[in-house]
């Protein structure tokens, strides 16, 4: 038997105690229409509710679940239009460490057209796009996810494909 | 064999083969030369190297090689195109390299023990690239993974090389799709994990127990 | 005037020996000063001094270094060290002896410093796993360094002094080889016999077989997937073999000298090694050694213009001693100077004196004198740990390795630990050199 000081200390936890909701299976369902690949979806979900400050995780969870409910009620869950210009979140890497691989961005994108509803001025839309995808992933990826859900809601309300 | 020189011998092997692989190598070699010699090594080295203590316990239970759930690892790396390994366990690395011809592999060239990484990498015939901590993010991506070895897993915690803590912070965690822990010990370590650090299991996205 | 050039040369030699960390700055500055003084006093010009530099010697040095690097890329040396350990069963004294013999042979063919750099990491693993005493560590490493020095002197391409003899045309390849190889082999045998009484390898506690098995198995596990890379072994080995054949078979009357043979061989190995060959040519040429020797040659050239060396030779031959005794004085002085100043500087300075002395003797005796000089330089290189570049390099590798003895005490390999081996080797190598030279006079 090892001496008392060899006894194990309580383990450090990466998740905060209030993170039990992060395993909510409704979150995966909420993103299913936005991110097809299960592994990629899991990664996006982790960025939203598994990493970063607790208040961001919880907020993301609440907002995504509510938006997903809205999408469901509008029967609007369908893949977004990938044919036009897209909003994507690049990983925040030091410039000298950016490789030439195209997967150094998060596996989600939404049509940029959703922002164009707010302004006809391309410069203003550019500014909005830069703001939306800026910041750590619990901000930027969450913004894009929520924009995607909002785009589905708006399309459903207008009775057209997302 | 005196304790200090045996410990130095074990460190030399563990630095480049990994604590678990070195433990199995020592026990198999000693047992082959002189029946019972491995018991003295378990007692002597086990007190200084907890991984040896855990491997020694498994040896006494009749195990003769490391735990290596390669299929479990391959399943969890499905969709991953490149992986950076932190820490060295030669038996597991050899198996991963052999079983994953399409996977781009890197090894972080840092160790808490003295290790000649040029020699370590030469064993893989160019399949594994050297990755310094400073350039770890060059390997990041939506299909990239960080892999490290776990030394015993219980219901909520595990032990890893301190290199994992040096490399994986809040920034890198969200730049790799998979954070995989691969257990190499058949049971949690019985003594305080010197040389290693304890982390919660939920620090990983995937654990191969 | 000759005193001024001698002063610059001597001051540079002393300063580089005292402050090895500044040796390149010292000799480069000394060479520049020599050029300046020679130009100002009308003794010579920089162009003339540079024209007198034995470029053929530097070409051979660089060429052999390049071929060695191609062989290094094949991982030949580290795998050779693993196989040697396995062949000896990691039995300590057998291990030490075999490594010494292997390094003796290797040092005769390629740059021993590079080979040593690649073999030492394997030896360090052996020391760690085997568990060695301070005495065994000192003896093994000491013997290894002496074997490298002797191997370097055994062939005309092994080390700088012999290359200088070959490059300057003082001796033909085959003549030097047939004279020097048996003498260095005899000296190595004597050193081994003299040191063997000190051989207590590791603590005798009944665990020798366990330690040996652990050592062999660990070493094999560390190199389990490493293979010789034939892409580099073939061009490197083929080039070296072709060069050896060329040196032995192509007569000087063809106009194809040893330096051209070396250059062609180096080019062949670089071409054969593909992209790695280009990398070696760009980054792995030992510019430090070339610059160091170039500077020495310039200083020696300036001193030569002022007739310093002929003055010394005249003084030596005017000594009230028999010609044989004069040769002995010269060889002992050469060995001691090498011990203090290292091989490059002393050989560069003393070869002119040897030339002057040699002219007093018939052709066969001249060859013996040159080989005797190479043996003296080899003895001097073996005297102190600091006398040859490999010594401090080994010392720093051992310091960094943090080796510990059976009771956990730190093990060292420094000036003091090497000295007993160095004194024995110095006396024996010098004795063989003097005896064989006198026998030929």
Chosen for mutation from C89, C221, C228, C400 (greatest number of chain B CBs closer than 10 Å) is C221
Residues A15, B138: C-beta atoms closer than 8 Å: no
In what helix (H) or strand (E) does residue A107 lie, and over which residues does it extend? strand A105-111
Sequence-distant (≥ 6) Cβ neighbours of residue A145 within 8 angstroms: A31, A34, A44, A48, A64, A108
**Predicted pLDDT of residue A22:** 56
Residues of A in contact with B157 (CB under 8 A): 8, 11
- Provide, rounded to the nearest whole percent, the portion of chain B with pLDDT above 70: 99
End-to-end CA distance of chain B: 35
For chain C, give every domain's residue range. 2-440
Q: How sure is the predictor about A18, in pLDDT bands with cuts at 50, 70 and 90?
A: very low
Would the pLDDT of A12 be above 50? Answer: no
> What is the SS3 assignment for B176?
strand
**Predicted pLDDT of residue C2:** 67
Name residues of chain C where pLDDT drops below 50: 201-202
Residues of B in contact with A103 (CB under 8 A): 81, 141-144
**How much is the pTM?**
0.83
**Predicted pLDDT of residue C300:** 84
**Predicted pLDDT of residue A159:** 82
Residues B123, C224: C-beta atoms closer than 8 Å: yes
Q: How sure is the predictor about A160, in pLDDT bands with cuts at 50, 70 and 90?
A: confident
**Predicted pLDDT of residue A62:** 94
Residues A12, B138: C-beta atoms closer than 8 Å: no
> What is the SS3 assignment for C255?
coil
Eight-state DSSP code of residue B128: E
Q: How sure is the predictor about A14, in pLDDT bands with cuts at 50, 70 and 90?
A: low
Q: Which chains touch A (3 or more CB pairs under 8 A)?
A: B
Does C206 lie at the interface with B, CB-CB under 8 angstroms?
Answer: no
The answer to whether residues B142 and A47 touch, using CB atoms and an 8 Å cutoff, is no
Does C106 lie at the interface with B, CB-CB under 8 angstroms?
Answer: no
B83 CA to chain A: closest CA distance, Å?
13
Residues C406, B2: C-beta atoms closer than 8 Å: yes
**Euclidean distance between CA atoms C310 and B165, whole angstroms:** 69
Is C55 buried (19+), middle (13-18) or exposed (0-12) by CB count in 10 A?
middle
Sequence-distant (≥ 6) Cβ neighbours of residue C12 within 8 angstroms: C26, C27, C29, C30, C31, C299
- Among the listed residues C417, C426, C375, C368, the one whose alpha carbon sits nearest the alpha carbon of residue C139: C417
Does C222 lie at the interface with B, CB-CB under 8 angstroms?
Answer: yes
Distances in whole angstroms, Cα of residue C319 to Cα of each of B150, B179, C7: 78, 82, 23
**Predicted pLDDT of residue C113:** 78
The pLDDT tens digits of the residues spanning B30-48 come to: 999 998 899 999 999 998 8
User: Which neighbouring-strand residues pair with B82?
Assistant: B104, B144
Residues of B in contact with A5 (CB under 8 A): 192
Q: How sure is the predictor about A73, in pLDDT bands with cuts at 50, 70 and 90?
A: very high
The pLDDT tens digits of the residues spanning B75-107 come to: 999 999 999 999 999 999 999 999 999 999 999
Residues of C in contact with B123 (CB under 8 A): 222-226
Q: Which chains touch B (3 or more CB pairs under 8 A)?
A: A, C
- Among the listed residues C311, C236, C289, the one whose alpha carbon sits nearest the alpha carbon of residue C71: C236
Residues B4, C121: C-beta atoms closer than 8 Å: no
**Predicted pLDDT of residue C260:** 93
The pLDDT tens digits of the residues spanning A107-136 come to: 999 999 999 999 999 999 999 999 999 999
**Predicted pLDDT of residue B2:** 57
């Amino acid at each position: 038997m090892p001496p008392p000081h060899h006894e194990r200390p309580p383990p450090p936890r990466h998740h905060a105690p209030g993170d039990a909701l992060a395993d909510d299976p409704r979150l995966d369902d909420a993103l299913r229409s936005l991110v097809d690949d299960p592994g990629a979806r899991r990664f996006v979900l982790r960025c939203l509710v598994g990493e970063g400050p607790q208040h961001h995780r919880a907020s993301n969870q609440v907002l995504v679940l509510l938006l997903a409910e809205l999408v469901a009620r509008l029967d609007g869950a369908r893949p977004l239009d990938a044919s036009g210009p897209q909003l994507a979140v690049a990983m925040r890497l030091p410039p000298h460490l950016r490789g030439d691989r195209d997967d150094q961005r998060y596996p989600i994108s939404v049509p940029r057209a959703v922002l164009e509803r707010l302004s006809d001025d391309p410069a203003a839309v550019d500014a909005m796009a830069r703001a939306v995808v800026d910041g750590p992933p619990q901000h930027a990826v969450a913004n894009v996810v929520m924009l995607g859900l909002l785009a589905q809601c708006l399309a459903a309300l207008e009775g057209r494909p997302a | 064999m005196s304790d200090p020189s045996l410990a130095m011998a074990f460190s030399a092997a563990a630095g480049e083969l990994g604590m678990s692989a070195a433990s199995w190598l020592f026990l198999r070699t000693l047992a082959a030369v002189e029946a019972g010699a491995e018991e003295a090594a378990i007692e002597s080295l086990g007190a200084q190297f907890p991984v040896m203590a855990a491997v020694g316990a498994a040896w006494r239970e009749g195990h003769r090689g490391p735990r290596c759930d390669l299929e479990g690892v391959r399943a969890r790396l499905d969709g991953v195109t490149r992986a950076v390994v932190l820490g060295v366990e030669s038996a597991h690395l050899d198996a991963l390299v052999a079983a994953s011809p399409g996977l781009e592999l890197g090894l972080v060239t840092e160790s808490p023990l003295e290790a000649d990484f040029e020699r370590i990498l030469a064993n893989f015939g160019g399949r594994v690239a050297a990755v310094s901590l400073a350039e770890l993010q060059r390997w990041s991506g939506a299909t990239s993974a960080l892999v490290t070895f776990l030394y015993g897993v219980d219901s909520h915690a595990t032990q890893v090389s301190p290199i994992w803590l040096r490399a994986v912070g809040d920034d890198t965690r969200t730049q790799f799709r998979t954070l995989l822990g691969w257990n190499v010990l058949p049971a949690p370590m019985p003594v305080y994990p010197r040389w290693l650090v304890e982390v919660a299991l939920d620090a990983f996205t995937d654990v191969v127990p | 005037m000759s005193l001024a050039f001698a002063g610059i040369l001597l001051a540079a030699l002393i300063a580089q020996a005292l402050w090895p960390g500044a040796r390149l700055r010292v000799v480069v500055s000394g060479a520049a000063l020599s050029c300046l003084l020679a130009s100002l006093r009308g003794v010579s010009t920089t162009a003339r001094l540079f024209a007198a530099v034995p470029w053929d010697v530097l070409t051979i040095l660089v060429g052999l270094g390049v071929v060695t690097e191609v062989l290094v890329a094949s991982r030949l040396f580290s795998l050779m060290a693993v196989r040697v350990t396995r062949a000896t069963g990691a039995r300590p004294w057998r291990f030490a002896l075999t490594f010494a013999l292997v390094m003796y042979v290797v040092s005769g063919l390629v740059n021993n410093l590079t080979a040593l750099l690649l073999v030492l990491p394997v030896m360090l693993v052996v020391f760690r796993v085997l568990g060695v005493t301070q005495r065994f560590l000192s003896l093994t490493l000491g013997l290894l360094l002496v074997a490298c020095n002797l191997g370097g002197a055994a062939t005309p391409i092994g080390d700088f002094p012999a290359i200088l003899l070959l490059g300057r045309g003082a001796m033909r390849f085959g003549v030097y080889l047939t004279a020097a190889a048996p003498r260095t082999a005899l000296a190595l045998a004597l050193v081994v016999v003299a040191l063997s009484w000190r051989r207590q390898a590791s603590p005798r506690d009944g665990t020798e077989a366990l330690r040996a098995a652990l050592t062999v198995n660990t070493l094999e596990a560390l190199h389990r997937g490493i293979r010789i890379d034939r892409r580099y072994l073939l061009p490197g080995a083929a080039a070296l073999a072709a060069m050896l054949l060329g040196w032995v078979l192509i007569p000087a009357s063809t106009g194809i000298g040893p330096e051209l043979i070396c250059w062609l061989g180096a080019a062949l190995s670089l071409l054969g090694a593909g992209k790695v060959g280009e990398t070696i040519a760009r980054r792995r040429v030992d510019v430090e050694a070339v610059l160091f020797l170039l500077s020495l040659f310039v200083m020696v050239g300036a001193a030569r213009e002022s007739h310093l060396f002929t003055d010394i030779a005249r003084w030596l031959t005017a000594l009230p001693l028999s010609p044989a005794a004069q040769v002995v004085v010269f060889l002992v002085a050469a060995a001691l100077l090498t011990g203090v100043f290292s091989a490059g500087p002393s050989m560069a300075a003393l070869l002119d004196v040897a030339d002057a002395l040699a002219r007093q003797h018939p052709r066969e005796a001249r060859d013996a004198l040159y080989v005797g000089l190479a043996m003296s330089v080899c003895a001097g290189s073996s005297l102190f740990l600091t006398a040859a570049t490999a010594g401090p390099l080994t010392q720093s590798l051992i310091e960094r390795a943090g080796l510990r003895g059976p009771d956990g005490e730190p093990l060292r390999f420094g000036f003091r630990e090497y000295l007993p081996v160095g004194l024995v080797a110095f006396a024996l190598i010098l004795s063989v050199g003097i005896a064989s030279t006198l026998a030929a006079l």
